[in-house]
Amino acid sequence: MKIIRKNKAAFFIIAAANLVVAIFSSYILPPKFFYDAAIIAYDKFNEIGYFGSYPLTILFYKITGFRYLPFPIIAIIQFPILIYILYKIGIPNDFEKINIKNILVYLGIFMIAIFIAMPSKEFITFLYITPIILMCVNKKYSLQKTIVISTLLLIIFGAVYRPYFALIPIIAGGMYLISFINFKNKTITTIFYGLLIAFFLSLSYGIVKGKYFSEMSREVVNKARIGSADANSMITPPLKPDTWYGEMTAVFYGFFTVNIPVNGLKHLFSPQIIVFIIWQLLLFYILLVRFSKCLKERTKYKYELFILFILFSFFILQGVFEPDLGSAIRHKIGIFPLIYFALYYDHFRKELQ
């Protein structure tokens, strides 16, 4: 009889436990967790269409018939699909051991159960970015082909689904070129210039369209929520982003709020926000250390560095577009395959040697 290794046993146990969470979440979680799910499932405003995240997601759930199913049944279908993707990416040999890296992933799987095991735009995002990871894990394509295919995928996704994904290749490409300059602290400087690239993209857009990125996205969403019960985790920069210096402040403030959210510790009576803050701080630190390592040995870790450029570009764009900490964590779980690979890249490298 074949014996299941400890790492796989731990993976399946955690997956099974969180499948239960996913199934019963609709009975336990407050209604605000299901605002997007209700919009997608019921489409009260007839938003269904072929362009845009809501219209396309509504179309997907209508075509598949999922929109007609109770949320627990959708969880039974969707959650195993997402777990199977992580399984195909790979399970680290020490997955059963309790350490910070594994705990971050355990919590990530829990958040998949909470945020994506229902009608969700992040379910589409999760599925869509998976081929990028599989190309890097299997290395069936050269790095050049992987970059070209991934860039096309991100641009197409940005064109038809979420526009800011089309900006990821621009920021990642700029950061890649800047990383060749011999700065004293190359990691921090590369991210800093990535933020500047995001600002100049917003500035250019503002000159043409009359509004900057954060003004037309985050500000519009948050204005409608001021004074509501869901406004406690809003990201509110100290200056209005209707001037170039206000937008620059918003870009940097948003990046730190979303990725190093120490200012969110004021939400002591919102346990879910505190858990996210701790998760996010540890995640960002570990990824920053890995980014530094990959920059120093860029030839050895070329696929890993490529994924980290995508990840940090996404983190930068989150700082521009995210309206609140809740949506920030939801969107990070949508790209969890990228995070999963980045956390365990040493394991995947050993597996292929």
Q: Which residues contact 191 (CB under 8 A, 6 or more apart)?
A: 175, 312, 316
Judged by phi (left if over 0) then psi (alpha if -120 to 50, else beta), residue 91 lies in: beta
The CA distance from 40 to 59, in Å, is 9
- DSSP, res 2: P
* 112-116, 176-180, 272-276: least confidently modelled range: 272-276
* pTM of the predicted protein model: 0.93
Closest CA to 247 of 224, 218, 208, 223: 218
User: By the 8 A CB rule, do 132 and 141 touch?
Assistant: no
Instruction: For residue range 317-348, list pLDDT tens digits in order.
Output: 999 988 888 788 889 999 999 999 999 988 77
Instruction: List C-alpha distances in Å: 143 to 49, 140, 157, 294, 341.
Output: 35, 9, 21, 15, 16
Q: Which amino acid is at 251?
A: V
Angle formed at CA 293 by CA 314 and CA 346, multiple of 5 degrees: 85
For residues 47 and 318, what is the distance between their CA atoms, to the nearest angstrom? 25
What value does the mean pLDDT of the chain take?
90
Sign of CA dihedral 253, 256, 261, 262: negative
pLDDT band at residue 306 using 50, 70 and 90 as cut-offs = very high
Q: Given this model, what pLDDT does residue 268 score?
A: 63
With bands split at pLDDT 50, 70 and 90, how would you rate the model's confidence at 224? Answer: low
Given a contact cutoff of 8 angstroms between Cβ atoms, the answer to whether 336 and 198 are in contact is no
- To which residue do tokens 């146990």 refer? 13
Answer yes or no: is pLDDT of 23 > 90.
Answer: yes
